Structure 1
Amino acid sequence: MRHPIPTVLVTGPSAALREAAIADALHDLATPRSDTVAVILEGLSDGSPTLEISEKILISRIAPGCLCCAGNLVMRVTLNRLLRQRPARLFIGVADTAHLDQLRSWLSSAPYDQLLALTPDLHS
């Protein structure tokens, strides 16, 4: 059985700040070089992204909108695609914190409860 993937919800006032917070967290992590990290970013880049897609960083961007309401289907499809890659860690950058508890609850429900281990949020 696979171990649940440590998953961090990242909040902040802008997509650029959330992305920078994730980049800083990745720099500080003691993650083996062989491990892949997946990142879901809600919101479009400002044109100068901090994170670059690579062999070890899988990045998916989702247009802004509530990930647990209007963006639920897009979020599910994106998350499922990334989980097939079996990342060692997952970061989800969230634009709007109004439904953060609902998103956390959704990610803690089946089938994601067996696949993800939510860790403390990261605030940018």
Structure 2
Amino acid sequence: MTGRRVTTTLVTGPSCHDREQAIAARLHHDGALSAVILEGLPDGQPVLVPSPSLLIERIAPGCLCCTGNLVLRVTLNRLLRRRPARLFIGLANAEHLGQLRSWLCSAPYDQLLELAPN
């Protein structure tokens, strides 16, 4: 992937529903492709629904910068090949948020992602 970097926002919150609602509020409905990586399963009715302009991937809960690093890397690489305009990563736990941000700012992701404030 070359060219512009994908605007990426890390989203934390007390429940999967709250994180999905926060992401839904930030989505633009302009037809641009957005991608979402959600940690964990929905608790109840999911707020976000996949569509031609919204790619959604769910990964098992766990520390995404430690035990879940490989799964996150594979999922992220697969989504980035689709060239989304925006990427949201919903985290179940903000404990290692700084480490995850640091990892996403390192090669090769430093050339692919533009991290927005949480």
TM-score by length of 2: 0.96
Task: Among all aligned residue pairs of Structure 1 and Structure 2, give the percentage whose two residues are the same amino acid.
Answer: 65
Distance apart, 1:32 and its partner CA: 3.0
Task: Work out the CA distance in 2 between the residues paired with 1:32 and 1:12.
Answer: 26
| Long gaps (5+) in structure 2 | none
Counterpart residue number, 2:55: 58
Query: Is 1:83 matched up with 2:80?
Result: yes
Q: Distance in 1 between matches of 2:9 and 2:86?
A: 8
Q: Which runs of structure 2 are paired with 1:22-101 in the superposition (5 Å)? A: 22-26=23-27, 29=28, 32-33=30-31, 35-101=32-98
CA distance in 2, matches of 1:72, 1:84: 18
Match of 1:53, SS state, is coil
2:6 equivalent to 1:5: yes
Separation in structure 2 between the aligned mates of residue 36 and residue 22 of structure 1, nearest angstrom: 14
Output the amino acid matched with 2:37: I
Shift of 1:43: 1.2
5+ residue gaps in structure 1?
Answer: none
Q: CA deviation at 1:24?
A: 1.1
Within 2, Cα distance between the matches of 1:55 and 1:65? 28
CA–CA distance in structure 2, aligned partners of residues 32 and 60 of structure 1: 21
Match 1:108 to one of 105, 108, 117: 105
Shift of residue 109, structure 1, vs aligned partner: 0.2
Q: CA RMSD in A?
A: 1.0
1:42 deviation in Å?
Answer: 0.5
